[in-house]
Homo-oligomer: A and B are copies of this chain.
Amino acid sequence: MPSLYARQSLPPCRWNAMLTTHPFDDDKLREECGVFGIHGADSASAVVALGLHALQHRGQEAAGITAFDGKEFHTHRAMGHVAGNFDRDEIIRQLDGASAVGHVRYSTTGETALRNVQPLFADLSTGGFAIAHNGNISNAAALRKLLVRRGSIFQSTSDTEVIIHLVATSSYRSLLDRFIDALKQVEGAYSLICLTAEGMIGCRDPLGIRPLVIGKLGDAHILASETVALDVVGAEFLRSVEPGELIIIRDGQLTSHRPFAEQSARPCIFEYVYFSRPDSIVDGTSVYSVRKAIGAELARENPVDADLVIPVPDSGTPAAIGYAQESGIPFELGIIRSHYVGRTFIQPGDKVRHLGVKLKHNANRALIAGQRIVLIDDSIVRGTTSLKIVQMMRDAGAAEVHMRIASPPTSHSCFYGVDTPERAKLLAAQMTIGQMANFINADSLAFLTIDGLYRALGEADRKQDAPQYCDACFTGDYPTTLTDFDEHGLEDQFSLLAERVV
């Protein structure tokens, strides 16, 4: 649910001045959202806050919770992390009620963006309606244009809001009919959790691009992006919501519906590579075990004669353990990550920039000096970080630096809820592997093959005409049409008239 419209309003220079210490490297793709809802629990919003904290890796810029107390809906939205905002007693007390839905998001900064922070809420003729969305509607700009012409007034620049207006103006009578009517008009990726006075609705798009799971905590039902959000509150993991499935939770009962035409699923393969937490179970499979299998596959496809296997922390660690176990080369911590990287450290002034400051990572010099090392990272996006890390290893005295990447080259943008740089900035879209090795100054560089990746997931290989996963970022094979992005320019036209709240 990124904002198509606001993208150009990001102050670009700000980011240049920032030495981010984010644990997810600057040079990573970023998942844009996580969702969590619970129905039928005491202190529902406190549970949601804990669940969102466990999903914080899916979005760090803002968070929101809407609760229903049996009579009224209460919403709080805040820029920043869950901790520091939704762990305040006075906030949770005001978010009273036995059902609540929450959202974390990565996206635009500034007070402005509060209007875009989810859950979005509307007071419809059918009653109050809150919605939290993980994914991205790829025809949102076209639908918005149409809706505004008919008299709809948008409160935000979020793609998710088109769903609400489609529900509000649907000619169907019941909320559920209106909701399905709306979803049939949108294209793209969506794992949704909606809250009304009567119950909670969950829905995953027909391709199942983004994950969504069902849990149980006593008599209460939970919907969440990942199983780790169930673990944090001690809830039982029941199963994943299936692609195209619509779940209704009402009066303590869960019912399953299939409003869409049958289609082969295409869940996002990058959830296994990087997005999901290693301790999550995604669509039935342990993420940690997949990553170790990737590491082993990588060691078989791309062996190297070396002294130490060193992960780029923390995302490269499981693959590095797999690589070390398969290759017999010892696994060592050659790069120490600061414990305080969860906070953004903005560079104070320009004067120290030349120091080549290493706020996030530091080489374990005493270990590395004179050794031949294999560095394991999960992916390369722009290549800027890889370049720095290879140099850091050389500065610490490494004899040889071999880089091994636990996924195929990332060569295409994502339009399904992931913040990808435009294609021209993806290193793999511009260079051969040899050029990339040269660019990052490694003695050797190798990527996992796409078939190797499918093998690590337990498949014999990738079915070329009916791929089992959405792997568009590696292959350019997009599973849906991309209306807004094909008719480029729509978005600009609207954003010019949009109000900026300062």
Q: Mark interface residues in A38-58 (1 if CB within 8 Å of B CB, else 0).
A: 000011011101100110110
A240-266: which residues lie under 8 A (CB-CB) from chain B? none
**Count of A interface residues, CB-CB < 8 Å:** 113
Chain B residues with Cβ under 8 A from A232's Cβ? 357-359, 362
Q: With A83-B340, A351-B42 in contact, is A497–B333 under 8 Å at CB?
A: no
- What are the residues of chain B within 8 A of A53 when measuring CB–CB? 21, 338, 340, 345, 359
In the complex, the answer to whether B123 meets A363 with C-beta atoms within 8 Å is: no
Q: Encode A199-226 as 1/0 by CB contact (under 8 A) with B.
A: 0000000000000000001000000000
Q: Which residue of B lies closest to A356 (CB)?
A: B234
Q: In the complex, are the beta carbons of B345 and A342 less than 8 A apart?
A: no
Chain B residues with CB under 8 A of A286 = 364-367
A499 to B100 alpha-carbon distance, docked (Å): 13
Given A343-B84, A496-B71, verify A351-B123 contact (CB < 8 Å).
Answer: no
Q: Is the CB of B47 within 8 A of A352?
A: yes
Decide if B339 touches A92 in the complex (CB within 8 Å). Answer: no
Some 28 contacts from A to B, beta carbons below 8 A apart, are A46-B348, A72-B500, A73-B497, A73-B498, A74-B499, A88-B346, A95-B502, A123-B498, A123-B499, A130-B499, A151-B170, A152-B152, A152-B153, A153-B164, A153-B168, A155-B155, A231-B362, A234-B358, A278-B333, A278-B336, A278-B364, A279-B365, A281-B365, A288-B333, A288-B336, A321-B332, A339-B342, A343-B343
**What is the CA–CA distance of A333 and B286 in the complex, to the nearest angstrom?**
13
Asked if B357 and A233 sit within 8 Å, CB to CB, the answer is yes
Counting CB contacts under 8 A, is A444 at the interface? no
Interface assignment of A437: CB less than 8 Å from any CB of chain B: no
CA of A123 to CA of B23 in the docked complex: distance in angstroms? 38
Extra pairs beyond A92-B348, A277-B336 (4, CB < 8 Å): A74-B500, A153-B164, A234-B358, A278-B336
Shortest beta-carbon distance from A241 to chain B in Å: 20
| Minimum C-beta distance from A135 to chain B (A) | 21
> Would you call A186 an interface residue if the criterion is a C-beta within 8 Å of the partner chain's C-beta atoms?
no
- Residue A488 interfacial (CB < 8 Å): no
Determine the chain B residues whose CB is within 8 A of the CB of A47 once the complex forms. 352, 355
Cβ-based interface call for A66 (8 A): yes
A121 is an interface residue with CB less than 8 A from chain B: yes
Whether B94 lies near A348 (C-beta < 8 A) is no
Establish whether residues B325 and A330, one from each chain, have CB atoms under 8 Å apart when the complex forms. yes
The answer to whether B152 touches A151, judged by C-beta atoms less than 8 angstroms apart, is yes
Assuming A46-B352, A233-B352, A286-B366, is B342 touching A341 (CB within 8 A)? yes
Task: Please tell me if A478 contacts chain B, counting CB pairs below 8 Å.
Answer: no
Q: Which residues does chain B contribute within 8 Å of A176, judged by CB atoms?
A: none
Q: Which residues of B contact A365 (CB under 8 A)?
A: 231, 279, 281, 286
Which single member of B342, B352, B497, B498 contacts A340 (CB below 8 Å)? B342
